[in-house]
Chain A
Amino acid sequence: MTALPLDTANQAGPDHVPPRRPRRGLAGLGLPVYVALALVFLLIPIGYTFAFSFNDSAKSNLAWRGFTLEKWLTVCNEPGLCEAFGNSILVGVVATVLATALGTAIAIALVRYRFRFRSSISLLLFLPMATPEVVLGAGLAAQFLALGTQKGIVTVILAHTMFCISFVVVTVKARVAGLDPALEEAGRDLYGSAAQVFWRITFPLLLPGILAAALLSFALSFDDFIITNFNAGSVDTFPKFIYIAAARGIPAEANVIASAVFILAIAIVVVSQVGRAARQKRLDRLS
Chain B
Amino acid sequence: MAAMGTFAEAGADLEFIDISKRFPGFTAIENLNLTIPAGSFFALLGPSGCGKTTTLRLVAGLEEPSAGRILIGGTDVTQTKSFQRPVNTVFQSYALFPHMTVLENVAFGLRRRKIDDPLGKAHEALRLVELDHVAARRPAQLSGGQQQRVALARAVVNRPALLLLDEPLGALDLKLRRQMQLELKSIQTEIGLTFLHVTHDQEEAMTMADIVAVMNKGEIEQMGAPEQLYELPRTAFVANFLGQSNLFTGPVTGSTADAITVDISGRGIVVPRTRAQRHAGEVTIGVRPEKLLLHIEAPSADAGTNVLGPGRVTDVSFSGVSTSYIVQIPGLGAVTVFAQNMVFGPVVNEGAEVWVSWTVDHGFGLEDEPAHGSRFPADSSTNAIAVQRRADLETELEGA
Contact = CB atoms under 8 A, between A and B. Distances in A.
B396 to A, nearest CB: 11
B173 A3 contact: yes
Interface in A186-201: 186-193, 196-197, 200-201
Contacts of A3: 144, 173
A190 B138 CA distance: 19
Given A186-B89, A189-B89, A286 B172 contact: no
Interface residues of B, number: 41
B136 interface: yes
Interface string A193-215: 10011001100110000000000
Given A286-B137, A286-B141, A186 B158 contact: no
B144 A190 contact: no
Given A1-B173, A4-B171, A6-B144, A192 B83 contact: yes
A205 B97 CA distance: 9
Interface stretch (B108-116, B124-132, B191-199, B256-264): B108-116
Main secondary structure of the interface of B (DSSP, over half): loop
Given A3-B144, A283-B141, A190 B109 contact: yes
Main secondary structure of the interface of A (DSSP, over half): helix
A132 B400 CA distance: 31
A189 B144 contact: no
A192 B112 contact: yes
Nearest to B136: A286
Chain A's interface size range is 20 to 34
A77 interface: no
B108 A192 contact: yes
Contacts of A187: 97, 108
B97 A1 contact: no
Given A1-B170, A1-B171, A182-B93, A193 B62 contact: no
Interface in A124-156: none
Contact of A182 (B91, B144, B154, B171): B91
B253 interface: no
Contacts of B177: 1
Contacts of A191: 2, 83-84, 109, 112-113, 158
B98 interface: yes
Nearest to A197: B83
Contacts of A189: 60-62, 82-83, 87-89
Interface in B349-399: 386
Contacts of A4: 143-144, 147, 171
B93 A1 contact: no
Nearest to B91: A182
A204 B138 CA distance: 15
A7 B173 CA distance: 11
Nearest to A5: B144
A183 B147 CA distance: 14
Contact of B91 (A6, A7, A185): A185
Contacts of B173: 1, 3
A177 interface: yes
A15 interface: no
Contact of B97 (A10, A186, A286, A287): A186
Contact of A1 (B2, B91, B113, B172): B172
Nearest to B107: A190
Nearest to A183: B95
Interface in B68-105: 81-84, 87-89, 91-93, 95-99
Contact of A287 (B87, B112, B141): B141
B174 interface: yes
Nearest to B157: A190
B140 interface: yes
A185 B62 CA distance: 7
A205 B99 contact: yes
Interface string A167-190: 000000000010010110111111
Nearest to B62: A185
Contact of B143 (A10, A185, A192, A197): A10
Closest 3 CB pairs of A and B: A190-B109, A4-B144, A186-B95
23 contacts: A3-B144, A6-B140, A6-B147, A7-B143, A180-B95, A182-B95, A183-B98, A185-B82, A185-B91, A185-B95, A187-B97, A189-B62, A189-B87, A190-B88, A190-B112, A191-B109, A192-B83, A193-B83, A196-B112, A197-B83, A205-B98, A286-B137, A287-B141
Given A185-B60, A205-B98, A205-B99, 18 more contacts: A1-B170, A4-B147, A10-B143, A180-B95, A182-B95, A185-B82, A185-B89, A185-B91, A186-B91, A186-B95, A187-B108, A188-B82, A189-B87, A190-B108, A190-B109, A192-B108, A193-B83, A287-B137
